[in-house]
Chains A and B, each alone.
Chain A
Amino acid sequence: MATFSVHVTIENKPGISDPEGETILNDLVLKGTHKIVSKIKTAKMLKFTIEEKDKKTAKIKVQEICDELRIYNPMVSKVTIDVFDA
C-alpha cells in the first residue's frame, strides 16, 4: 500500500454558464489592464489523501466515493481526477 494524493476538480460542463468565472473576468481582471485574458472558469478542487495499492485503484476509489456521496452532480459538472504520489 502507498499513499496518494488524488485531486478532484469539479467544474460546470462546457457550454453551461459560469457566473462566478464571468464576474471575476469582467469585474476584476479586465478592470485592470490584463486585456490578454479572454476567459476564466471557476472550479472546486478536493484533494484526497488515500492509501491504495496503486494509482489506478486510488483514482477509481475516489471516483466511487464522489459518486456515492454526491460530491458533484453529474448533470451539471464535469469532473477531472488526477493522481499524484503523496
Chain B
Amino acid sequence: MSLESRELSELKSKIGRDPTSTELQIVAAEWSEHCSYKSSKKHLKMLPMTGPLVINEKGYDSGVLDVGGGYVVTAHIESHNHPSAVEPYGGAATGVGGVVRDILSAGTRPIAIFDGLRFGNIEKDKQARWLFKNAVTGVADYGNCLGIPTIGGEVEFDECYQNYALVDVACVGFGKKENLIKNHAKKGDVVVLLGGSTGRDGIGGSQFASDSLESEDRSAVQIPDPFIEKLIIDAILEARNEKLIHALKDLGGGGLSCAISETADALDIGIEMDVDKVHTRESDMRPDEIMVSESQERMLIITNKTKLKKLQDICKKFRIGCSVIGSVKFDNKVHVKKGKKTFANLSADIVANATLLDLPSKKPEYLKTITQEKKFKPITDYSKTMMKFLASPNIASKIWVYSQYDHEVGIRTVIKPGGDASVLRLDNGKYLSVKIDGNPKQCYINPREGAIGCFEEACRNVVCTGAKPIGMLDHLQFGSPKDPEIFWTFLESLKGLTDFAKDFKIPCIGGKVSLYNETPAGPIKPTPLIGILGLIDKKPLVHQKITKGDYLVMIGNTKDELGGSEYFEYIHKFIGGTCPTVDFSESKKNMKSVLEIIKQELPKSVHDCSKGGLAVAVSELCMIDQIGCKVSLDTVPGAKLPVDRILFSESHSRYLVTIEKKNIKKLENILKKNKVSFKTVGIFGGEKIQFSNGAKSIIDLRVDKAQKTWLNSLRDLVLHG
C-alpha cells in the first residue's frame, strides 16, 4: 500500500512535516481511488441528486427517499469485484454485508438485497464457472443467514470478464422518518466500535481495489460472518429506538482510518482514539494494521457517556463486542494514540479530502469502425437457432441462481424474482418496485447510448409492475481511469445518465464508482449498472396466468439496431453494429401509457422486451405460463425489417402487453389517445411458440421442449460443465 510520490509530497506540504508510518497508512487508504473517488468525484456532480422525495443528511452512506405516511426508503449499491475475483464465496458474501451496513447506518432496517453478477464465458472457461458458482453461494449464504430476502438481480457472461468477476450488491432499507439517524456529535461524546473483532484479514483492501489485479494480494481476503451481522442489525435498531445513537458509520473499505476521518470531516469534529482500546483478534497487532484492517461486521457509533451504559447493555444482550475507543474533540483532528504515545495526528479535512483529479480523456480508436456490420451467414432454421439461443447462458432462465436465495423471508415480497422487477409491500400501504440493469455489450459499442439504455430498461421493468420511477442508483464500473480512452467512456456514460435523469426527473440517490477493473487480458467493457426504485400507490400488477384467446399487444417500435445484441454476439460471434438508442419522447410516452393501462386494470401482464429481443420476450411469456402463441412478424410496429432483425433487435421502449379480448378496445383507445405506436401482434393458445411472416412459418417450437431447455441449461452448465 502506497501513495504516489506526487501525493506524498502533497501530504508533506499540507502537514508541514514528514508523516509517520501510521499516518501514511491512513492517508494511503483514504486517498485510494476506492475511498476518495479522486478520478471521478469532479464529474459525478453533474448527476441530479435532489428531488421532492430525496432527503439529504450529512454523513449518509445510502440514499434516502420519503415514500409518504412518515416512512422512508433507503437504498445503496456497492461492488466487491476485486475480492470476489480471488475468493468468490467470501468476496460476494462480504459484499452483501457491506451494503447491508450502509443501509443500517441511516437507521433503517435492510429489507431486500439485489445482486448483479458478471463473469467470463462459462461455456468454455472452468475458472468462470468456479467463480460464478461460488459467488452465488456466497450471496445466498449471507443473505439467507441474515433473514433478508434477495429478491432480484441479473447475471451476465462476457469474454471481457475472463478470470474476473463483477459482484454488485444493492440493498434497500425501510423505516420511519423520525427514526433516521441525524448524524451529529457534542463535546465529550464517546466513540464506540461495535461488532466483530479487528484482525489482520483484509488489510489493504481498499488499496487493493484500486490496483489492477495483476499480482494476487493474499492478505486482502475477508471472511464473512453473517451471524454477527444479524446481531449487529438487531442491536443497532434497538439502540436507535432507544435514541442512543448520535452518529453512525459503517466500517468498509479503509477500515477505521476511513470511518474515523470521514465521520470527523462530515460532522466537523475531531476524534481522538486509542488503538489499545480496539478489541482485536490477535494481541500483537501494530497500530497501522489496526487502523487499516478491513475486518468485516463492524460499526462506529458516537454517543454520550450517559447513553453509553445502555448501549453496552444492548451489546451484552446480543453478545457482540463493543469498545469505547475514543472521544469527540473540537480540533478537527484525527488523533490516533497507543496508550499515551501519539501515532498519527492529522487534520480530518486533509485525510478525508484527497485532491481531485481532472484526468484527460480521448475518444477510443475502436469506436471509429465499430458500427460497421459484417455480412452474416443467413439462418436456415430459425427454430433450431431459437433453441440454441434459449439454452445460451445469457438468455437461459436464471432460476438456478435465484432459487438458492430466500426471496420471501420478511413477508414483504409481492412479486418474486424471475419476472421484470420485484415488488415489496411497505407498511404505509404502498409498494416498492426495484430493478437493477446493466448492459456491457451495448455500452462497449456506444458508452453513452448503452448507459442510457440500462437506465431506460430498469425504468421499463419497474413500469411493468405499475410503478413510477422515483430514484436511481448508479454503479459505474470501468477499467483504469489513467487510460484516456477508458476515461472517455466513463465520462460519456455519465453524461448519458445525467441527461436521462434530468429529462425524466429521476434523481440519483446514491452510487458507487469502481475503477481499475482490469483482467490480465485487458480492461473490462464499460459496465454501468443502474438500479431503479419505483413506487406504486395502489396496487402492483401481479402477472395473471395467460389463457387461450388472450391477445398479445406490442407497444413501441422495433428498429434496426442490433449492435451489442445477444443475437449478434452469441449466434454470429460478432461485436459491433449500431447500439439501440432511446428516443426520450417516445420512451416517456410509452411509460406513461403503460402506467395508465395498468392503473385502469386492463392488462393481465406487461413484460419488458429487451435481451434477446421480441423472440425471447414472447417465448418467456409462453414458457412461464406453458401456453403457445402465434405471432405475426409483419404486424410488429416499426419500419419494415428483415425477419432476424424483427425477432432479435433489442430496441428500447418496447413492452409486451397480454390482455383479455374483452379489454382490447379500451386499451386501444388509451394508446391511440396517447399517440403511442402499437399493434396486436399475436394471440395465445395451443402448445407451440410460432412466429410467422405473412404466410411463411419462421419459428415453430413446442412450449414444453423450449421450457425444459430454458429452465435447465444454466444449471446443467454450472454443475456438469
Q: Which A residues form the contact surface with B (CB < 8 A)?
A: 12-13, 15-19, 23, 70, 73, 75-76
Which of chain A's residues have a CB closer than 8 A to the CB of B216? 75
Which of chain B's residues have a CB closer than 8 A to the CB of A18? 223
Please tell me if B344 contacts chain A, counting CB pairs below 8 Å.
no
Stretch at the interface among B169-177, B193-201, B409-417, B663-671: B193-201
In the complex, given contacts A16-B221, A75-B86, A76-B87, what are 18 additional A-B residue pairs having Cβ atoms less than 8 angstroms apart? A13-B218, A15-B201, A15-B219, A15-B281, A15-B282, A16-B223, A17-B197, A17-B201, A17-B225, A19-B224, A19-B225, A23-B227, A70-B130, A73-B87, A75-B87, A75-B216, A76-B90, A76-B223
B86, B87, B199, B224: the one within 8 Å of A15 (CB): B199
23 A–B contacts from the bound complex (CB under 8 Å): A13-B218, A13-B221, A15-B199, A15-B200, A15-B201, A15-B281, A15-B282, A16-B201, A17-B196, A17-B199, A17-B201, A17-B225, A17-B295, A18-B223, A19-B223, A19-B227, A19-B228, A73-B86, A75-B218, A75-B221, A76-B87, A76-B221, A76-B223
Task: Give the dominant DSSP class at B's interface.
Answer: loop
- How far does the alpha carbon of A42 sit from the alpha carbon of B224 in the complex, in Å? 15
- How far does the alpha carbon of A12 sit from the alpha carbon of B87 in the complex, in Å? 12
B137–chain A nearest beta-carbon distance, Å: 13
Going nearest first, the 7 A-B pairs with the smallest beta carbon separation are A15-B200, A19-B225, A17-B223, A75-B86, A16-B201, A75-B87, A75-B221
Which of chain B's residues have a CB closer than 8 A to the CB of A15? 199-201, 219, 281-282
Q: Which residue of A lies closest to B202 (CB)?
A: A16
Interface residue range, chain B:
20 to 34
A22–chain B nearest beta-carbon distance, Å: 8
B197, B218, B223: the one within 8 Å of A12 (CB): B223
* B 73-130 contacts with A by CB, 8 A: 86-87, 89-90, 130
Which of chain B's residues have a CB closer than 8 A to the CB of A70? 130
Which of chain B's residues have a CB closer than 8 A to the CB of A73? 86-87, 89
Which of chain B's residues have a CB closer than 8 A to the CB of A23? 227
- How far does the alpha carbon of A19 sit from the alpha carbon of B320 in the complex, in Å? 13
Q: Which residue of A lies closest to B293 (CB)?
A: A15
Q: Which residue of B lies closest to A70 (CB)?
A: B130
Q: Which residue of A lies closest to B217 (CB)?
A: A75
Which of chain B's residues have a CB closer than 8 A to the CB of A76? 87, 90, 221, 223
Which of chain A's residues have a CB closer than 8 A to the CB of B281? 15, 17
Q: Which residue of B lies closest to A18 (CB)?
A: B223
B499–chain A nearest beta-carbon distance, Å: 42
Q: Mark B277-306, 1 if CB is under 8 A from A, else 0.
A: 000011000000000000100000000000
With A75-B221, A76-B221 given, is the CB distance from A16 to B200 under 8 Å? yes
A16–chain B nearest beta-carbon distance, Å: 5
Q: Which residue of B lies closest to A19 (CB)?
A: B225
- How far does the alpha carbon of A12 sit from the alpha carbon of B90 in the complex, in Å? 12
Which of chain A's residues have a CB closer than 8 A to the CB of B89? 73
Which of chain A's residues have a CB closer than 8 A to the CB of B224? 19
Which of chain B's residues have a CB closer than 8 A to the CB of A12? 223
* B 125-172 contacts with A by CB, 8 A: 130
Which of chain A's residues have a CB closer than 8 A to the CB of B200? 15-16
Q: Which residue of A lies closest to B296 (CB)?
A: A17
A50–chain B nearest beta-carbon distance, Å: 24
B720–chain A nearest beta-carbon distance, Å: 15
- How far does the alpha carbon of A73 sit from the alpha carbon of B200 in the complex, in Å? 18
Q: Mark B688-708, 1 if CB is under 8 A from A, else 0.
A: 000000000000000000000
- How far does the alpha carbon of A18 sit from the alpha carbon of B218 in the complex, in Å? 16
- How far does the alpha carbon of A16 sit from the alpha carbon of B89 in the complex, in Å? 15
B316–chain A nearest beta-carbon distance, Å: 14
- How far does the alpha carbon of A5 sit from the alpha carbon of B317 in the complex, in Å? 47
- How far does the alpha carbon of A85 sit from the alpha carbon of B207 in the complex, in Å? 47
